[in-house]
């Protein structure tokens, strides 16, 4: 055991101290717009450009989504930074995604309080006093924790605590709203309270309980028809290999939730695809016939269990087991026979070790499990649809998705948007590799483009595609300006049907406020300085997608798509119960 030392050996300004805390936590990018007192932190960032990249966006919503995706893909808190009132007004898209999707994230902002006039309602003030808005209360509704430091040492330690809260237990977003007085002055070795290195605030991964692991291992071995449902928690833990290892060890088919899509490759011989409202019939039917379900990193929400339809999941006829980082999620929706609280990587590794010590099940049992899966795939048409080969115009979404699947390599990352286009990607797109697809959980439009920007910054050597509808593109196309400013060569594929598809299809014959004018988004992209490609016929898709994936510049492929396919075509029959 070693003793520790203090955080600083000399006095430094508070903004400099905050930036050093981010460095110590391994955070190498921040996303935002300079404004208000946050200019002080940017001034400190100027001297740290070799270690922290300050990515300038054109709207706070883009910053928040990019920070959320950074947290989701790296496991380190993504940082969205900007002025208080405008982060609140515009930066909640990614913050809510992080809150509901458990991504570690920091919102670093301020109160625009202009001390010593805080109590006199200064312009844009957010202290919650008379004549101002209440920043702390507002952010508290969409974060795990919101901190308002008022003093210099408090500002530094609050930043460290925010990192700790963002990463501990079930991860999530934490807001630090710096009062102007907290950014004044200096901190150093003689500060009171004493400041210690940030590493001590970084959480350690929790381990599962051995007794529960043995019981779960035995249940998995003894089951006749087991199935695994993997959620976004597998992605957050980066437990892709451990999940595949356990599934292969015992020949257990794997379904994923929509937010967990790509945590298990859907080209794998044990894959069932996405389950739930808009998933594969193969997945829903197989889960419904299982005698044991192991839920890993998923809360088993209503969109995943088809409105809690007992034909799919029923604890009165099925044994349910659960692995989750947060005990509050255990047996939340369904009572579980066994629960293991812990990080998915650690627990799945330990499960495989215990199973190895017990000895594998008989080969006959494993062969039966594989044949049951193959029979279900044949019966229910696993990733099979006549639209994949259709030459119809306007282009069917299925044909576009099939061409995307052909065009990409295994390491391509795809970011989905919200709306009907996301449902089509959920149902029709077959992922090729683990961790290759990012999908919003909260489901607001305008997610795909900033998500793709963040993914490309994190993985510059991998191709990255944003797939969105024309509604989502209209909300986030200013992200292409950031792509040009920051030299981020992403591809954007727009399903252009001149409508809010899900809304329009749901309105039936009473269509109102759900259609757009016919627009050429390729021309808009070209006018911005990007490459734009318009596609109106299916045979044009291969060349257009190949050009977009060259990775030399930001490219928009504007695909004129049909409204003939709707959300009803990908809805589970289990949704139709009375």
Domain boundaries, the chain: 12-201, 210-380, 386-570
- Asked whether the beta carbons of 473 and 554 are under 8 A apart, the reply is no
More confident residue, 392 or 207: 392
What average pLDDT does range 255-271 have in this prediction? 97
Q: What is the mean pLDDT of the chain?
A: 95
Q: So what's the pLDDT on residue 442? A: 87
How many residues does this entry show for the chain? 578
535: phi then psi, degrees, rounded to nearest 5: -125, 120
The CA distance from 236 to 453, in Å, is 19
Q: Answer yes or no: is pLDDT of 269 > 80.
A: yes
244, β-bridge pairs:
none
- Report whether 24 contacts 50 (CB < 8 A): no
pLDDT at position 204: 74
* Nearest Cα residue to 426 out of 411, 435, 434, 438: 438
Confidence of residue 207 (pLDDT cuts 50, 70, 90): low
Q: Are 563 and 516 in contact (CB under 8 A)?
A: no
SS3 sequence, 374-439? HHHHHHHCCCCCHHHHCCCCCECHHHHHHHHHHHCCCCCEEEECCCHHHHHHHHHCCCCCCCCEEC
pLDDT at res. 208: 64
**Percent over 70 (pLDDT), the chain:** 98
The pTM of this model reads 0.95
pLDDT at position 360: 75
Mean pLDDT to the nearest integer, 407-418: 97
51-55, 66-70, 108-112, 212-216: segment of lowest average pLDDT: 212-216
Cα separation, 303 vs 575, whole angstroms: 10
- Find the largest Cα–Cα distance for the chain: 78
Sheet architecture: strand order including 145-147: 53-56, 29-32, 78-81, 105-110, 173-178, 145-147
Asked whether the beta carbons of 427 and 39 are under 8 A apart, the reply is no
Under 8 Å between Cβ of 387 and 429: no
| Measured distance CA(68)–CA(536) in Å, rounded | 34
- The predicted model gives 564-571 an average pLDDT of 96
Q: At 393, list the tokens.
A: 């115009």
CB 497 within 8 A of CB 562: yes
- The second-level CATH assignment, the architecture, of 12-201 is 3-Layer(aba) Sandwich (3.40)
Position 5 scores a pLDDT of 87
User: Is residue 323 pLDDT above 60, yes or no?
Assistant: yes
Judge whether 276 and 253 are in contact, CB under 8 Å: no
**Tens digits of per-residue pLDDT, 157-192?**
999 999 999 999 899 999 999 999 999 999 999 999
Percent of all residues in the chain with a pLDDT value above 90, rounded to a whole number: 90
What does the DSSP 8-state code read for residue 443? -
User: Is residue 4's pLDDT more than 60?
Assistant: yes
Q: Kindly report, residue by residue over 482-537, the tens digit of the pLDDT.
A: 999 999 999 999 999 999 999 999 999 999 999 999 999 999 999 999 999 999 99
What gap in Å lies between CA 143 and CA 127, rounded to an integer?
18
At residue 2, does pLDDT exceed 70?
no
Angle 495-500-504 (CA atoms, 0-180°, nearest 5)? 125
Pairing mode of beta strands 464-469, 413-416: parallel
pLDDT one-digit tens code per residue, 56-95: 999 999 999 999 999 999 999 999 999 999 999 999 999 9
**Could you give the CA distance from residue 257 to residue 232 in angstroms, rounded to a whole number?**
8
Q: Pick the closest to residue 36 from 71, 1, 88 (CA basis).
A: 88
Question: Which of 80-94, 198-212, 395-409 is the least confident region?
Answer: 198-212
Instruction: Answer yes or no: are the C-beta atoms of 441 and 417 closer than 8 Å.
Output: no
Judge if 12-201 and 386-570 fold alike in CATH terms: yes
Contact 548, 533 (CB under 8 A): yes
Which tokens belong to 40? Answer: 């002080």
**CATH superfamily name and code, 386-570:** Thiamin diphosphate (ThDP)-binding fold, Pyr/PP domains (3.40.50.970)
Residues 6+ apart with CB under 8 A from 356: 249
**Contacts by residues 410-413 (CB-CB < 8 Å, ≥ 24 positions apart):** 410/436, 411/436, 411/462, 411/463, 412/436, 412/462, 412/463, 412/464, 412/465, 412/549, 413/437, 413/438, 413/452, 413/455, 413/456, 413/459, 413/462, 413/463, 413/464, 413/465
Count of CB atoms situated within 10 Å of the CB of 542: 12
The answer to whether residue 577 scores a pLDDT higher than 70 is no
pLDDT digits (tens, 9 = 90+) for 101-134: 999 999 999 999 989 998 898 989 999 999 999 9
> pLDDT grade, residue 441 (50/70/90)?
confident
Looking at residue 182, its pLDDT comes to 96
Provide the token pair at 459: 């993985």
What dihedral angle (degrees, nearest 10) is formed by the CA atoms of 331, 334, 340, 343?
A: -90
Q: What pLDDT does 134 receive?
A: 94
pLDDT of 578 > 50? The answer is: no
Pick among 3.80.10.10, 2.130.10.10, 3.40.630.10, 3.40.50.1220: CATH of 210-380: 3.40.50.1220
CB 298 within 8 A of CB 231: yes
- What was the pLDDT predicted at 97? 96
- pLDDT of 363: 87
Over residues 546-561, the mean pLDDT reads 96
Residue spans of beta strands (DSSP E) within 459-521:
464-469, 491-496
User: So what's the pLDDT on residue 542?
Assistant: 98
Mean pLDDT of the region 13-41: 97
CA-CA distance, 269 to 467, in Å (whole number)? 26
Do 260 and 297 form a contact (C-beta atoms < 8 A)? yes
DSSP for 68-122, please give it: HHHHHHHSSPEEEE--HHHHHHHSHHHHHHHHHHT--EEEEEE----TT-GGG--
Using one digit for the tens of pLDDT, what is the confidence trace for 331-382?
A: 889 999 999 999 999 999 999 999 999 987 788 889 999 999 999 999 999 9
**172-208 as b/e: b if 16+ CB within 10 A:** bbbbbbbbbbbbbeebbeebeeebebbeebbeeebeb
């Amino acid at each position: 055991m070693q003793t520790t030392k203090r955080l600083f050996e000399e006095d430094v300004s508070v903004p400099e101290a905050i930036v050093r805390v981010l460095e110590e936590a391994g955070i190498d990018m921040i996303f935002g717009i300079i404004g208000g007192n946050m200019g002080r932190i940017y001034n400190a960032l100027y001297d740290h450009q070799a270690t922290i990249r300050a990515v300038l966006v054109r709207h706070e919503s883009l910053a928040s989504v990019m920070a959320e995706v950074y947290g989701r893909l790296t496991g380190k808190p993504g940082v969205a930074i900007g002025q208080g009132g405008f982060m609140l007004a515009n930066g909640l898209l990614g913050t809510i995604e992080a809150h509901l999707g458990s991504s570690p994230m920091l919102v670093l902002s301020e109160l625009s309080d202009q001390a010593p006039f805080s109590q006199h309602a200064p312009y844009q003030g957010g202290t919650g006093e008379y004549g101002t808005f209440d920043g702390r209360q507002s952010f508290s509704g969409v974060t795990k924790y919101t901190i308002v430091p008022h003093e210099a040492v408090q500002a530094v330690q609050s930043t460290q605590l925010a990192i700790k809260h963002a990463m501990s237990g079930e991860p999530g977003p934490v807001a630090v709203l710096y009062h102007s007085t907290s950014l004044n002055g200096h901190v150093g070795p003689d500060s009171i309270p004493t400041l210690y290195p940030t590493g001590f605030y970084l959480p350690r991964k929790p381990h599962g309980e051995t007794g529960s692991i043995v019981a779960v291992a035995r249940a998995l071995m003894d089951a006749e028809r087991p199935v695994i449902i993997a959620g976004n928690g597998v992605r957050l833990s980066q437990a892709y290999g451990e999940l595949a290892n356990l599934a292969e060890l015992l020949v257990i088919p794997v379904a994923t939730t929509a937010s967990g899509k790509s945590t298990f490759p859907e080209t794998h011989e044990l894959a069932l695809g996405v389950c739930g409202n808009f998933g594969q019939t193969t997945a829903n039917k197989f889960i419904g016939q299982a005698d044991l379900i192991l839920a890993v990193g998923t809360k088993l929400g209503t969109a995943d269990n088809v409105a809690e339809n007992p034909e799919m999941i029923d604890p009165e006829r099925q044994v349910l087991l659960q692995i989750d980082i947060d005990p509050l999620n255990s047996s939340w929706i369904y009572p579980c026979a066994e629960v293991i609280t812990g990080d998915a990587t650690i627990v799945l590794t330990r499960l495989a070790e215990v199973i190895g010590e017990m000895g594998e099940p008989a080969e006959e049992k494993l062969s039966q499990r594989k044949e049951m899966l193959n029979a279900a795939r044949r019966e229910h048409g696993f990733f099979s649809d006549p639209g994949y080969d259709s030459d119809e115009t306007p282009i069917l979404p299925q044909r576009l998705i099939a061409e995307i699947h052909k065009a990409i390599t295994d390491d391509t990352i795809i970011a989905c948007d919200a709306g009907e286009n996301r449902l089509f990607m959920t149902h029709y797109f077959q992922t090729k590799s683990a961790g290759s697809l990012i999908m919003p959980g909260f489901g607001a439009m305008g997610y795909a483009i900033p998500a793709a920007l963040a993914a490309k910054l994190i993985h510059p050597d991998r191709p990255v595609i944003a797939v969105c509808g024309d509604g989502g593109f209209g909300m986030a196309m200013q992200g292409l300006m950031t792509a040009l400013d920051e030299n981020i060569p992403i591809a954007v594929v727009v399903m252009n049907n001149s409508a809010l598809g899900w809304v329009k299809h749901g309105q039936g014959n009473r269509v109102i406020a759900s259609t757009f004018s016919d627009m050429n988004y390729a021309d808009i992209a070209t006018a911005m300085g990007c490459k734009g490609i318009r596609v109106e016929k299916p045979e044009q898709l291969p060349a257009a997608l190949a050009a977009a994936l060259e990775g030399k510049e930001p490219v928009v492929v504007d695909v004129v798509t049909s409204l003939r396919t709707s959300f009803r075509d990908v809805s589970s029959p289990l949704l139709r119960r009375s």
